Amino acid sequence: MSDTKRTVSIDRVSLGRYEVTNVRGGTITIGEGKDTDFTPVELLLAAIGGCTAIDVDYITSRRAEPTTFTITTTGDKLRDAEHGNHMDNLEVTFTVRFPEGREGDTAREALPRAAKQSHDRLCTVSRTVEAGTPVRIEVR
């Protein structure tokens, strides 16, 4: 198998509830939003925010350990007769604080640049969404 291939499997637990398993054995459950399970749209938001969080964290934490590191990802779920259901107005907001001092100053200075690098070229998830990569559906 190619080292570029990424795979998860999704098994039905019950109507509207599914267990997702990655190749390392990790699992999460997804559902329709009737309980605490994440919905697929929430997972999309988490994937966008999580991907860019990892990029930015690795870049800035080399300079200083953050005292606060929170990412909020939002978007509007639209039901559109012409274009089908989709998300719009996707936004990733960083709330990151570093300690006072030279190392914290260096990390604060790197933060906007790191967020831009993540958005422009590093974050596979948001880059894929923005590129509009086609999704092929196959029924076996």
pLDDT digits (tens, 9 = 90+) for 9-55: 999 999 999 999 999 999 999 999 999 999 999 999 999 999 999 99
pLDDT (0 to 100) of residue 1: 53
β-strand partners of 69: 96
Question: So what CATH class is 39-131?
Answer: alpha beta
Region 112-126: what's the mean pLDDT? 97
Closest CA to 60 of 107, 115, 116: 107
**17 close to 29: Cβ distance less than 8 angstroms:** yes
**91 close to 74: Cβ distance less than 8 angstroms:** yes
Q: Is-above-0.85 flag for pTM?
A: yes
Show me where the domains of the chain are located: 1-38, 39-131
Task: State the Cα–Cα distance between residues 52 and 75, nearest whole angstrom.
Answer: 16
Rounded to the nearest 5°, which phi and psi values hold at 109? -65, -35
